[in-house]
Structure 1
Amino acid sequence: MRVVIAEDSVLLREGVARLLADGGIETVAAVGDGPGLVAAVEEHEPDLAVVDVRMPPSHTDEGLRAALAVRASRPGFPILVFSQYVEERYALDLIGEGAAAVGYLLKERVADVSDFLDAVRRVAGGETVIDPELVTQLLGRRRRGEPLDALTPREREVLGLMAEGRSNLAIASRLSVTAGAVEKHISGIFLKLGLEPAPEDHRRVLAVLAYLGRA
């Protein structure tokens, strides 16, 4: 796997590159600003970009805006946001424009290198990996009277784990229930959110987007 890193801190850039190398993942470019990210992806055509949120010149949201620019020119290109900040507006834009192959991890909450490498591989493989803290913050913005209010506490718990990118088996293991029970909960979620089967839609992704406030 070939990766581009966008991080304005030289030490963090080198640290992430070293972690990736130890996991057998090649860093083909490491840049310190948004335009550098866009140019590096164009030049090297990597399999994934690891992107910080705050980079020069204003150190606010340049990283996420550059990630959106990359996805606009390369729909579905895998992006893993790796930051110490939750930037809700552009995070929702990034997830909402196509939830597949998107990740958002908070630096201080990654306690194990293997978890980070697993997230890199999962996002590169087309999965969605969202930090539970981001899910919690986005959920806190929801208003009463919306379709999600019809969900049972267990269904909301299952949907929250879906939003973290967990498979049915992983959800079953986390909740100590059977995979069949998880499937029933997910069917109930689809029904209450009005997500009917359709060949052109991915109901699991649509449910997650509803949970995150975009659908």
Structure 2
Amino acid sequence: MNNNFQKARDRMVDTQLVTRGIYDPRVLAAMRKVPRHLFVSEALQSQAYADHPLPIGDKQTISQPYIVALMTEALQLQGHEKVLEIGTGSGYQTAILAELAERVFSIERLPSLLHKARHILEKLGYRNVVLKVGDGTMGWPEEAPFDAILVSAGAPKVPQPLVDQLVMGGRLVVPVGDRLSQDLVLVERVPEGIRKSSLGGCRFVDLIGKWGWEE
């Protein structure tokens, strides 16, 4: 069975990621390695490597593999970084980041999801991850600054506290738009201020919090 899942992962990387322009060898290796099927319910494991998001309970989803890879690649991680993730969700994106960065701090709004994610991440042996329940739009001031920040929920605007918690040269990826569709925005902190660029359209669940949507 595990061999079948590995084949499914390899197929996912070759057909969904490489063909769409994901080139970073470290990102591709992480996507081949992390067992995505363990982050969804047993009933959905056969669909874990398909080209679409999946429900994980509490009206939340695990993102489509391509979007996970695209957002991760945009952070340009080399292995020494301190990364902040907003929206732990299933913990899958957290695991991908943990493969690529030195330390990952992840905030989840829903305790039930955080509990499940923590269990899976511990079981898989990720020791460089710190999780907490909280309002992700406020960031994690006690641990700031961060080399990279990834937001896996759609925001009405770029949350200012997250920009403030980036190191100079740091990169933030966040979906920005209305509640139906967003633009994936890369925000870079540069000496002149902030540089923004678009990575394309996407659709995420709502980012709830002081700098996001009201619940």
Higher normalized strand content (fraction of residues)? 2
Higher normalized helix content (fraction of residues)? 1
TM-score when normalising by structure 2: 0.30
TM-score when normalising by structure 1: 0.30
Q: Point out the structure with max Rg over C-alpha.
A: 1
